[in-house]
Amino acid sequence: MRVSRLFGRTLRAAPAEAEHAGHQLVLRAGLARQIQAGSFALLPLGMAALRRIEAIMHEELAAIDGQEFRTPIVQAATSWQRSGRYADYGPLMLRAEDRSGRALVIAPTHEEAVAELAAHEITSYRQLPQIIYQIHTKYRDEGRAKGGLMRLREFTMLDAYSLGADTASLDQAYEALAGAFTRIFARCGLDVVAVEASAGEMGGGEPREYMALSASGEDTLVLCDACGYAANSEVAERTASDGCVRCNAPLRLARGVEIGHIFKLGTRFSQALGANYLGVDGAEHPIVMGSYGIGLERMLQIIVEQHADAQGIAWPQAVAPLDVQLLRLGQGEDVRAAAEAAYADLCSAGLRVLYDDREETAGVKFNDADLLGLPLRVVISERLLKLGQVELKRRGGAAHTVAREQLVAAALQPT
């Protein structure tokens, strides 16, 4: 990909409304652009990082036999009336009417749709347990959409659902999903704490939130360094006013952002929507459900926030939108030809390269490379070319030169 033709430009300074580091970097690096309050377009670099996060999610869900499916976003209000949440959700749920006056919902979550679908597809205990998931768009008409990708109205969610015959099966699925979520966060380079949480409108048991520690966080976490106890302050305040509920050691407060949430739903939705299976005993039983979600754009912004320095982003290798930023410094024919050749060679070696082919100064190109923060920077300059050399620099590391013909081998070396 050539920077000259990249859709999405870098900004020298972040707009004034971007208060927090992650939000500023998302805008300055051209990962996403605000369209309306709470409504962002993902630009190619942001979209590429999102796709890498998705790929990790697909792998980890497949490892626990998760099956990808997809339910519509625009849903009939009748499903939500059956579960009772059509009234519960209030103004957070966007509603519409179709051409014949039928009430519709732009779905904020998909428990109703899953229960309805399970009622069609599951008939016998022999088919259970199952884990199904999708990575798709959700909509919540947030009153205070702000913070860049932190609190969007429209966002992408990994939403997984477990379907089981009994609570033992639910417990197993809950642990399997919790394990998958932990591995997803670790592989994406995220520093996350699992905390006790409240269930909100979802209901169900053992709600657990995955909180990323972040100065931009709207939640307060109560953490015990002595025994590892962690809870959202909404929950913790009720049980602990001065010391840890488990070990009575002093508690520490920290700011956090929820990036995932898991629930043992039980049979609330399957009973309301008729999702039953025929048991070994020959009788009908409601399917025991769990619900497990991660917000992707929010996760993307927190990754950027947690992996940055004063110059810009320092992407974790696993989710970097591209591998290499290749800089051409100088306008001569020789350096142009050398840079084009390096671009072709690096691409042929399977590396994903962002090639800064613009007629800009070295200063502009170095600043943009630091801002975009791809794992490896390669410089082709007139000065180095006379020495038969190119320069390599890992983001955050020191620059070193190698002979031109060693470029691909050096670029492929693990960090």
Instruction: Say how far apart CA 327 and CA 98 lie, in whole Å.
Output: 52
CA distances from 171 to 61, 141, 178 (A): 17, 32, 10
* Binding range to its own copies, per CB under 8 A, among 66-74, 187-195, 212-220, 325-333: 66-74
Compare residues 136 and 395 and give the one whose CB is closer to its own copies. Answer: 136
Q: What amino acid is encoded at 140 in this protein?
A: R
Which of 59, 63, 88, 96 touches its own copies (CB under 8 A)?
A: 96
Which of 154/209 has CB closer to its own copies?
Answer: 154
**Stretch in the footprint of its own copies (CB under 8 A) among 15-23, 61-69, 212-220, 284-292:** 61-69
* Binding status of residue 358 toward its own copies by CB under 8 A: yes
Among 14, 25, 117, 165, binds its own copies (CB under 8 A): 117
Closest by CA position to 140, among listed 169, 109, 174:
109
Closest to its own copies by CB, 34 vs 232, is 34
Evaluate whether 140 touches 153 at the Cβ level (below 8 Å).
yes
221 vs 296 by CB, closer to its own copies = 296
DSSP structure string for 399-410: EEEEEGGGHHHH
DSSP H helices in 130-232: 167-187
Q: Residues 6, 18, 26, 335: which binds its own copies (CB under 8 A)?
A: 6
The CB-of-78 to its own copies minimum distance in angstroms stands at 9
Closer to its own copies by Cβ: residue 106 or 289: 106
CB of 147: closest distance to its own copies in angstroms?
A: 17
Q: In the complex, what is the shortest distance from the CB of residue 125 to its own copies, in angstroms, rounded to a whole number?
A: 11
b/e burial code for range 216-249 (CB count within 10 A of at least 16 → b):
bbebbbbbbeeeebbbbbbbbeeebeeebbeeee
User: Rounded to whole angstroms, how far apart are CA atoms 403 and 415?
Assistant: 19
Residue 123 makes contact with its own copies by CB under 8 A = yes
Per CB under 8 A, the list member of 14, 113, 192, 411 interacting with its own copies is 113
Among 51, 238, 246, 386, binds its own copies (CB under 8 A): 51
Chain centroid to Cα 76, Å, comes to: 28
Which one among 21, 43, 149, 379 touches its own copies, defined by CB under 8 A? 43
Cα gap 378→393, rounded to integer Å: 7
Residue 267 CB coordination number (10 Å): 18
DSSP H or E segment with residue 117: helix 111-121
Does 137 engage in binding with its own copies (CB under 8 A)?
yes
Non-local (6+) Cβ contacts of 291 within 8 A are 109, 111, 159, 160, 161, 202, 204, 262, 263, 265
- Residues lying near its own copies in the complex (CB under 8 A) are found at 1, 4-9, 30, 33, 35-36, 39-44, 47-48, 50-51, 65, 67-76, 91, 94-96, 98-99, 104, 106, 113, 116-117, 120-123, 126-130, 132, 136-137, 139, 141, 143, 153-154, 358-359
